[in-house]
Structure 1
Amino acid sequence: MTPEEGIPDTRVLAIASHVVHGYVGNTMVTFVLQALGFEVSAINTVNYSNHTGYRQRTGRKTTADEIIELYEGLKQSYLDEFNMMVTGYMPSADVIEVVGKIAREQRFNSLTKPGSFFWVLDPVMGDAGKLYLPEEVIPVYKSLLREADLILPNQFEAE
């Protein structure tokens, strides 16, 4: 904690989407948290040209293996001690499972310091009565709900 700020140093792992144009997912989370003084490490679950609300987009989904590879790289460089994890859009059930595994590992690593890890889960699955993802992701998301500290569904996702 810096005396001038009066807030503790906080390291955040953000696992969410990234768009070249627009302000969603890691594009927004990283900016806001860094502006507040947090140290943010971002793993992008997709790299798209723009938000999916436009008629078209280009880009790629990140695979579960790629997410694990990036996380393992952080571990190998001793950059994997996080106080908080923020997760957003995950493009597949495999990615959701891998992110749950990362969260469980972070929680386990914080057991010697109770209250030192907090997971914010935004289950970005759909809106306005329409799923963005296949229905098979719903049970995978449900399996994570008890593990997250704060869940931020929109009304459609909560229903």
Structure 2
Amino acid sequence: MLPPLSIQPLVENAVNHGIIQVAGSGTVTIQINEHLSNIEIVVKDDGRGMSQEKTEQLLNKEIKSGNERTSVGLKNVDSRLKQLYGEGLIIQSSPNRGATVSFLFPKRLTINGKVHICLSSSWADVYLIFYITIKFVSLFSFQPLL
């Protein structure tokens, strides 16, 4: 059971804060991996990256830039994941080396004694590993790399 709007903010953040901030082009990779009891979502970019301090701030408090609030999307996704599954986003990054944001959610979830199937076996058979890479060649165009 993947909460709505869990992946979109991660991709938007990778483009807006990683790729667009770097002159030239960049790449965003979205990967979905099946593990024994979990599904892993990974969004990776080769943009500007960020320091360890910044990654900690993103999930621990709201960051303000001038009069504009930032990082609300990541914080919201992190909070929803923690509320549903007890674990939130994992951010790995370093300056000028891009960023990777990932999370896990269970294939099966028990709520009030009822087991909910979060991933059907037919879905798993078709999409054992989903992997897409998008190469941003300019601000207004992109090219899927399949």
Which interval holds the TM-score relative to the shorter structure?
Answer: under 0.3
* Structure with more strand by fraction: 2
Higher relative contact order (CA 8 A, sep 6+): 2
